[in-house]
Amino acid sequence: MSARYDRAITVFSPDGHLFQVEYALEAVRKGTTAVAVRGKDVIVVGVERKSTAKLQDARTVRKIVEIDKHICLAFAGLTADARVLINKARVECQSYRLTMEDAPSVDYITRYIAGVQQKYTQSGGVRPFGISTLIVGFDADGTACLYQTDPSGTYSAWKANATGRSAKTVREFLEKNYTDTSSQETLKLAIQALMEVVESGSKNIEVAVMERDKGLRRLEDPEIDALVSQIEAEKAAAEASKKRSPSDASSSKK
């Protein structure tokens, strides 16, 4: 049935589907995992980093990018599509500053990006953007914001969220463990969430931290290594204590 209705983007199937949009969502689900966690005074963004070729400069392959001084974006899906959307968002930020003489809010840029994505779902001769974005930043009053957009053009606000491959697993982990905490605990939670689905630990993780009035800071590999080692040590200690507790209980009964 789908073969008759997936040729043109503007044609609905009889059961109400736009197949090209659903195919774009499938491209997102095949993309590398991205996660964002909002804390009290910090927002942490992490992505799964694919291994690069030995002679390739890893700095040219970024999944976390700065949109403005106070806004950054992580994405899952097609990198080339993301590059086009990111450039549009950056131009809109500068245009807003020039016109309004003020920095755009995170909500405004999210609505702009979602609007661009939606336009590409109902025009002939184009296709949807095959990316889902996690947009984070601080508004003028210091409020931390986290939004997600998807290829259909919908957007929503979150406390913590994930997108891309195994996003459901990461989201379930965040639902169980999320609390509105300090910067260090928020950072550890984001890395723990990524470690649920990323193999090889710190080698395949890219993390950036955005703090109020300080902008975006990317963590260096040694910092990530130290945090991963600390998390693994705490996890091992917790498992060891669980194993000891039943034996302690049985010995006390004797």
pLDDT band at 248 (very low <50, low <70, confident <90, very high): low
pLDDT in tens, 127-140: 999 999 999 999 99
Which of 39, 13, 27 minimizes the C-alpha distance to 146? 39
pLDDT in tens, 180-232: 888 899 999 999 999 999 887 778 899 999 998 889 999 998 999 999 999 98
In this prediction, residue 105 carries a pLDDT of: 97
pLDDT band at 15 (very low <50, low <70, confident <90, very high): confident
In this prediction, residue 104 carries a pLDDT of: 97
pLDDT at 251 over 60: no
Residues of the chain with pLDDT > 70, as a percent, come to 93
In this prediction, residue 162 carries a pLDDT of: 97
pLDDT at 106 over 80: yes
In this prediction, residue 244 carries a pLDDT of: 79
